[in-house]
């Protein structure tokens, strides 16, 4: 397997100490079914063209990036002009500030990346910064220019390496006041609060991401498999049964909480009711249309 390619290479700098580092995505695309838009009468995929009003389709070489400074008026920039913008943060990530681990609201976090030393010469200094952050329980803050944008980023220890997370800027975060304005500023009933707290305590376990699967994607793959098997006929999708009183506006909250408290401890998770999925998703994804099918034959 080929070694992963870094999305950024540069220097991590702490005061006068510079460390050659590489940055890699910490997440991977999930194996979700990919859909194309299809013209149903012909069964052929739909394509999109770049067009200009009054001209029609145009050559991609004639496309430039444009900033609309007035309605209908644009200043045009070439890729070379944009790339020529000099920012120190394109090659250097300067740790300019440190904050407590809990000081950054979860709302600000965006995307995670792994940060590792680029070579053996950088390993000693890398370990010093990593372990100093771990010992002080601090998070380093800096800015990094990547893919045409300057990001605010945080850095913290992560195993033998470090985790870099891009953060939203303050002006990118919506104020919550308008969304919560109609919620009354009253405290919860003490008795209900006590039972709810006990229920949370009972269901508190150590986080284990392996317990959680994407049931929607599994059901979607099963639906696709059923559609192939039915050769285009309509496939019935089972609706999950609603428990009696589930949609009622008036419920006995205390009774519901106490009944929940009498249930399991929460050490395992049960998947929600499935719609079309009744078989393992691996089997569904492994099925293929019959070899005699025409290349452009549509299903459904």
| Cα four-point dihedral sign 255, 256, 258, 262 | positive
How many C-beta neighbours within 10 Å does residue 54 have? Answer: 5
Task: Report domain extents, the chain.
Answer: 8-28+85-172, 190-238+253-286
Nearest to 124 by CA among 19, 24, 199, 219: 19
Per-residue pLDDT of the chain (300 residues; tens, 9 = 90+): 667 899 999 999 999 999 999 999 999 887 778 888 999 899 899 988 899 999 988 988 888 899 899 998 999 988 788 777 767 778 899 999 999 989 999 999 999 999 999 999 999 999 999 999 999 999 999 999 888 789 999 999 999 999 999 999 999 999 999 999 999 999 999 999 999 999 999 989 998 988 888 888 888 888 888 888 887 667 666 666 555 445 444 468 888 888 888 876 655 545 444 444 444 444 444 444 444 444 445 545
* Residue whose tokens read 């006990």: 198
- Which fold, 8-28+85-172? Ku70; Chain: A; Domain 2 (2.40.290)
pTM over 0.85? The answer is: no
């Amino acid at each position: 397997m080929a070694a992963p390619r870094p999305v950024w290479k540069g220097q991590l700098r702490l005061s006068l100490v510079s460390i050659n580092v590489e940055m890699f995505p910490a997440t991977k695309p999930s194996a979700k079914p990919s859909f194309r838009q299809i013209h149903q009468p012909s069964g052929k995929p739909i394509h999109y063209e770049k067009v200009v009003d009054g001209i029609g389709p145009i050559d991609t070489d004639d496309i430039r990036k444009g900033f609309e400074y007035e309605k209908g008026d644009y200043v045009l920039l070439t890729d070379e002009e944009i790339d020529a913008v000099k920012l120190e943060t394109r090659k250097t990530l300067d740790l300019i500030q440190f904050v407590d681990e809990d000081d950054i609201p979860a709302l600000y976090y965006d995307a995670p990346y792994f940060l590792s030393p680029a070579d053996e010469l950088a390993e000693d200094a890398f370990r010093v910064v990593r372990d100093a952050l771990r010992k002080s329980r601090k998070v380093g803050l800096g800015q990094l220019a990547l893919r045409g944008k300057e990001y605010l980023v945080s850095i913290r220890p992560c195993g033998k390496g470090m985790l870099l997370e891009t953060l939203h800027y303050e002006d990118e975060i919506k104020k919550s006041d308008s969304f919560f304005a109609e919620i009354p500023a009253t405290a919860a009933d003490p008795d209900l609060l006590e039972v709810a707290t006990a229920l949370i305590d009972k269901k508190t376990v150590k986080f284990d991401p392996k317990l959680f699967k994407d049931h929607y994607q599994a059901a979607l793959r099963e639906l696709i498999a059923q559609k192939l098997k039915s050769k285009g006929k309509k496939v019935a999708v089972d609706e999950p049964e609603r428990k009696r009183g589930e949609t009622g506006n008036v419920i006995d909250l205390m009774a519901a909480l106490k009944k929940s408290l009498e249930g399991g401890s929460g050490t395992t998770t049960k998947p929600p009711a499935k719609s079309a999925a009744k078989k393992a998703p691996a089997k569904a994804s492994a099925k293929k249309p019959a070899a005699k099918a025409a290349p452009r034959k549509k299903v459904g």
